[in-house]
Amino acid sequence: MTDLHYLSATEVLHAFRTRDLSPVEALEAVSARADETEPVVNCLLERDHEDLRTAARVAEDRYAGKGEPPRPLEGLPVVLKEEQPITGRTLRFGSLLTEGLVADETHPVAERVYDAGALVHARTTTPEFSCAGFTHSELWGITRNPWNPDYAPGGSSGGSGAALASGTAYLASGSDIGGSIRIPASFSGVVGFKAPYGRVPALPPFNLDVYCHDGAMGRTVADTALLHNVIQGQHPVDHVSLPALPIPEDLGDVRGLRIALAVTLGDIPVEPEVEDNTRAFAEALRSAGAKVEEVQVDISLERLTEAALVHYGSIMGPSMSEEVALDDPRFMDYTRMFLEKSSAAYGRTSVYTGMERETEVHLAIAKVFADHDALVCPTFGGLGLRAGDSYVDGLDVAGRHLEIYIFAALTPVFNVASRHPVLAVPSGIASNGVPTGVQVVARPYDDVTAFQVGAAAERELGLWLDPTWRPSL
């Protein structure tokens, strides 16, 4: 087999079962690929921390019928976002301020990935405290986009997105409090799933934050469903976690589904190339048999920003202060900006007012779903973010200046409306070589429909199913 590192996870597992490929060979393929790409991409941490080759040989024996039967991810090389703790391992959050910090508990996502037999061969980079839509820090340096290294792969799960795009992992974990799975999925040209609140268990106290989601990332819709099925479902450490809703293997039937197309949400600016690729995605769904209708979504960017900042200011600032002093000069410039703006919003606006603004978002989305089974809209209005730029002075999108760059993303809408499952899927490539993406949004807790729609468009457009859909790196 050629380009082993770019096989899908489902293909690799099938080849393990038929014994056409061994876990040792797959591990060697992604390791060799990382040796080639990491000097440029810089997305992996703690490579080969464990005796993985021994574990790969044990997995190979399981597929040969020796010992216990293979588990769902047996022998598959997978990476985990560093933010998700593993007992006894360092937990740096991309910050110089966390030297010596070691995790004393394991995140349910990491626990389930290990229990499923995966070979966790690396952890992935994040921005400091996962509070940016790009991925660079003084601690770990700049993580670059495999499609165009002048750009970021998104954030805060940018290391995971870059690993998938560069071929150095078959699956990856992410987390999302404002778009941190979906933004890197878009910029990295991969797939990510923000499950509805509670579907994927988390650690206290953030399991009680309805904006917070941990989730699966992969190169294809089927791969993302595979990992999601492993990590979802109730867990004793997370009392509010929901029962699992398995995603079936047979995906992509959208005949007769009513799908709303929104080329933006409210007055969020969107570049023409992003709109064009979003419309092409919708046309692919029409070709697959869906009924697609263009809609307007009545959301105010100003009021959405206020609602989100109040929420962040009430939770994330205090959470950071438990580990470090908030006036420490070693904070990254983007972290300081985030803290200042969110804390100021929280100080001048009551939590109740923030809830009123959130209600406006919920009602606007509910209006769409009164007549539709799913909604398709862009993930990010701009054409990527430059690698290493902190955007503390804002961002220009489609002729409009946004004071806070992250609100060029259309993702925070669905951290507010957090019960909606959202599958982020590639929609094309912009003229600068950076992929664009869409969000496939389903009704609250209707996870399967989001995957059905994403799989149908993926099949029609080709994407990772087409061998030419690869970064040139």
Tokens for 386, please give them: 């430059």
Structure tokens that stand for 363 in this block = 């009602």
Catalytic-labelled residue, pool 156, 175, 188, 390:
156
Rounded Cα distance, 16 and 69, in Å: 12
| Residue of 166, 180, 188, 241 marked catalytic | 180
Q: Give the angle 81-264-433 at the CA atoms, nearest 5°.
A: 55
* Per-residue exposure over 43-79, b if at least 16 CB sit within 10 Å of its own CB, e if not: bbbbeeeeebeebbebbbebbeeeeeebbbbbbbbbb
Q: Which of 439, 438, 437, 435 is nearest to 469 (CA)?
A: 435
C-alpha to C-alpha distance for 386 and 391, rounded to whole angstroms: 9
Q: Clarify whether 156 is annotated catalytic.
A: yes
Extract the tokens encoding 435. Answer: 């992929």
What is the helix (H) or strand (E) element at residue 333, kind and residue range? helix 333-348
Please state whether beta strands 77-81 and 119-124 pair in parallel, antiparallel, or not at all (unpaired).
parallel
Q: Is 427 helix (H, G, I), strand (E, B) or coil?
A: strand
Catalytic annotation present for 31: no
Please give the Cα distance from 230 to 220 (Å, whole number).
Answer: 16
Q: Which ranges of 116-217 does DSSP label H, i.e. alpha helix?
A: 158-166, 182-188
Task: Out of 8, 31, 81, 194, pick the active-site residue.
Answer: 81
d(CA 398, CA 395): 10
Residues assigned a catalytic role: 81, 156, 180
